[in-house]
Structure 1
């Protein structure tokens, strides 16, 4: 993610030209699949700093995501907010409204948290990345991946011990057995990589 900073000026120029020649923006991640309806969105704090180390900030971000995304016809299907990044599984009708909504939420939280920490000009967010959901298997494995994220990053021993996650909603709506069956049927061990292509 931060390899660009380590490049020489000539390497940076060559990389930017390569991105432009492929139709990508010069520095942002490309959003190449724009006609899908389901996406996994991942956003990380700049340099993976823990700007959301308090439960209050994580909940503030989550509340803002729900307010902004729902107001722009984006449905949130699963979520987790950790101290330095978050994941949301969304259903969208218009991909452009998703990006606009995320920029608003990131802008507002940056301002609020910088004021709260009495810091000016600090960059809070790096960017967001999207991955189109390609199949029912990918969809269910993504939900499991989101719910297991606090355990994966060693924030807790059980996903049920983390508050800013949709696992509690799924538990209430479908029950523990449903969640366990999904974990067995759609394991997350092979989630990374191109298994779903």
Structure 2
């Protein structure tokens, strides 16, 4: 029998499926304030997704948190390892840049398996447009550290229209950053 710590998210990522991951920086500090840091974080994210053979479907990286939609192929049990490596490597790099060895950068992450199509569509919309939700930009297409522009350019037009028409206001996501 498992006993879970009530103040920490319970990571039950047991393989195949689509997951939404949200993570915030320690004490909501803006460690990724500069655009270059967000660009570097995105590059690291893409490298780690390739390394672990995970399919990144949507991402939004802001100055103190991020959201991801990741498809985990059948038989792949590496999502938790990938997120751990992402946080560890990012923290080491940022701490080296700021000359602050050992500083805590990431607080925690929350994950949820997406099991219904409508929930998946709403969460895709939410992640693609998250910079607008936080008032960073008036149009997500203007924000280079999210998947919105990539999605518009690469997904079938019918699918793009379906996602952008979704109402994401009712989804419950830890996003008080």
TM-score (norm 1): 0.79
1:46 Cα offset (Å): 0.6
**Is structure 2 residue 57 aligned with structure 1 residue 74?**
no
Question: Any stretches of 5+ residues in structure 2 without a counterpart?
Answer: none
Q: Which of 154, 159, 167 is matched with 2:148 structurally?
A: 167
User: 1:84 aligns to what?
Assistant: 64
Match for residue 113 of structure 1 among 87, 94, 111:
94
Scaled by the length of structure 2, what TM-score is found?
0.87
- Which residue of the partner structure matches residue 98 of structure 1? 79
Q: Aligned-pair distance for 1:121? A: 2.3
The aligned length equals 172
Tell me which residue corresponds to 2:42. 62
**1:37 counterpart residue number:** 17
The answer for the alignment partner of 2:111 in structure 1 is: 130
1:183 and 2:164 are equivalent in the alignment: yes
Q: Which range is displaced more, 174-183 or 131-140?
A: 174-183
SS at structure 2 position matched to 1:157: coil
The equivalent residue for 2:132 is: 151
5+ residue gaps, structure 1, are 1-20
Structure with greater contact order relative to length (CA < 8 Å, sep ≥ 6): 2
1:109-146 Cα shifts (integer Å, max 9, x gaps): 11111111111221100111101101111111111000
Task: Give the deviation of 1:191 after TM superposition.
Answer: 1.6
> Quick check: 1:141–1:191 contact (8 Å CA) kept in 2?
yes
Q: Deviations over 1:42-78 (max 9, x none)?
A: 1111111110111111111111111112211211011
Please give the alpha-carbon distance, in whole angstroms, between the structure 2 residues aligned to 1:134 and 1:165.
23
Worse-matched range after superposition: 133-142 or 86-95? 86-95
- Rounded to whole Å, the distance in 2 between the matches of 1:80 and 1:176 is 21
RMSD: 2.2
